[in-house]
Amino acid sequence: MSGALGETPGSVPAPTNRLWSGQAQMPSVLARQVEIVAADGNYVITRDGQRLFDTTAALWHTNIGHAREEMARTAAEQMARLETYHVFGRFVNDKAVELADRISALSPIDDPRIILGSGGGDGVDSALKLARRHWQLAGQPEKTWVLSRESGYHGLHGYGTAVAGIPFNREGYGSESLIPETARIDLHSVEKVEQTIQEIGPERIAAMIAEPIIGSGGVIPPVEGYLEGLQELARRYDILFIVDEVITGFGRTGEWFASHRWGLEPDMITFAKGVSSGYSPVGGVIVAPRVWDAFYKDADSPIYRHGITYSGHATSAALALTNLDILEREGLVSRAAELEKVLQRELTALEQHERVREIRSAGFLAGVALVDGVDGPALADRLIDRGFTSRVLPGNALQISPPFTTTDEEVRTLVAGIKDALDSSA
């Protein structure tokens, strides 16, 4: 029913709209929402006409920058030809097929099959269900447990919630794990991960899922040898190794995939965000032969009973393809590698700041961790006042992950803006 927005009790400000936002304490954000109404390259524009440099590339995804005409034309042309057609059963659409081929050519996994979906959490659900199906078909039905890294983030769908390494994302649903049989592994120590495997029993573990660089948990790069160590444990104990490249995939670390950077050969890779730079909701899973083989073999092969209406959405896929064209044509993946150096160089200016505890960075991605007692959200507000989007991650760390189209000068201006906001913090 439409009409006047209801009365709110006590001191809670009256809502000005009916949108229930993600990860928001609604009473405290209602009176100060930042409403974005337009964008231009590396900047977004608020309803009040303020122009903000997009420090975070929205939620780590606007890698080619905002509001590109070429993307708008792609969407319009595709919709006028075929908005979409589903990819269930015998049906496919040409753009979904083309995108699967294109992703497979870029992938660190040889001869993969590609499951398409609508985002990262969706990909994680697809991959972890598939891991459990794999072992059921392989005659090891007791392999059902899924391990995930402390501080990890894998979206907030059912499985992403169950394997969340950020405690507040997995708590409060009435059981230890929303989907049963999950456990957390140590963030840095391969020996401790091995202990956990032995405690649970490798014969009960289906998969290990890992973000190569912890993103939403505070931007935490892997210590040397950690990712390679996880892969080695997975091989030794016959556990599927899934790398969640939702943030790192499609260039963020200066390579197409972080798996390339660390020489990983996962059994599955989940992806989203950078595949379309957020111009359309696309995500999915890159699946290695070891996992897809049983489903493709012969007339008796089982069906993977999974899929969503918008898997391989044709307009979304067309936008992802144009995004990949732009990344290639403009050399934006190697530009991200250059920007990693520029960002690290500029951030050294903040290292000694009395309000900075630590700077963590790998790829064109950084977290500026603040000392205890510095009010991170207030600092983020001051950054917005100074013309920068901002976000505080767990551990009181500011997220820095701008578009790959950022100039060196914009990196300098951003770091100067953070310094200025830090200097004036209470």
Ligand X SMILES: Cc1ncc(COP(=O)(O)O)c(C=O)c1O
Give the CA dihedral 288, 177, 236, 194, nearest 10 degrees: 140
State which of positions 128-167 bind ligand X (CB under 6 A).
153-155
Least separation in angstroms between residue 310's CB and ligand X is 13
Residue 247 touches ligand X, criterion: CB under 6 A: yes
Show the tokens assigned to 348.
């050294």
Whether residue 238 contacts residue 218, with contact meaning beta carbons closer than 8 Å, is answered with no
Residue 120 touches ligand X, criterion: CB under 6 A: yes
106 phi-psi bin (left φ>0, alpha ψ -120 to 50, beta other):
alpha
Residue 125 touches ligand X, criterion: CB under 6 A: no
Which of 28-36, 113-121, 358-366, 387-395 is the region at the interface with ligand X (rule: CB under 6 A)? 113-121
Residue 212 touches ligand X, criterion: CB under 6 A: no
| Nearest Cα to Cα of residue 265 among 107, 114, 122 | 107
Residue 53 touches ligand X, criterion: CB under 6 A: no
Which residue is at the shortest CB distance from ligand X? 120
For ligand X, the closer of residues 155 and 266 by Cβ is 155
Residues touching ligand X, count (CB under 6 A)? 16
For ligand X, the closer of residues 125 and 410 by Cβ is 125
Pairing relationship of beta strands 268-271 and 392-393 according to DSSP bridges: unpaired
In angstroms, the CA 412 to CA 426 distance is: 24
Least separation in angstroms between residue 123's CB and ligand X is 7
Among 217, 251, 274, 283, binds ligand X (CB under 6 A): 283
For ligand X, the closer of residues 166 and 422 by Cβ is 166
Among 148, 216, 276, 280, binds ligand X (CB under 6 A): 216
Which of 94-102, 210-218, 285-293, 355-363 is the region at the interface with ligand X (rule: CB under 6 A)? 210-218
21 φ, ψ to 5°? Answer: -80, 165
In angstroms, the CA 336 to CA 5 distance is: 45
Q: Report the DSSP beta bridge partners of residue 116.
A: 284
Between helix 69-81 and helix 314-329 the angle, nearest 10°, is 150
Residue 59 touches ligand X, criterion: CB under 6 A: yes
In angstroms, the CA 49 to CA 308 distance is: 38
Q: Which residues are at the interface with ligand X (CB under 6 A)?
A: 59, 119-121, 124, 153-155, 211, 215-216, 244, 246-247, 272, 283
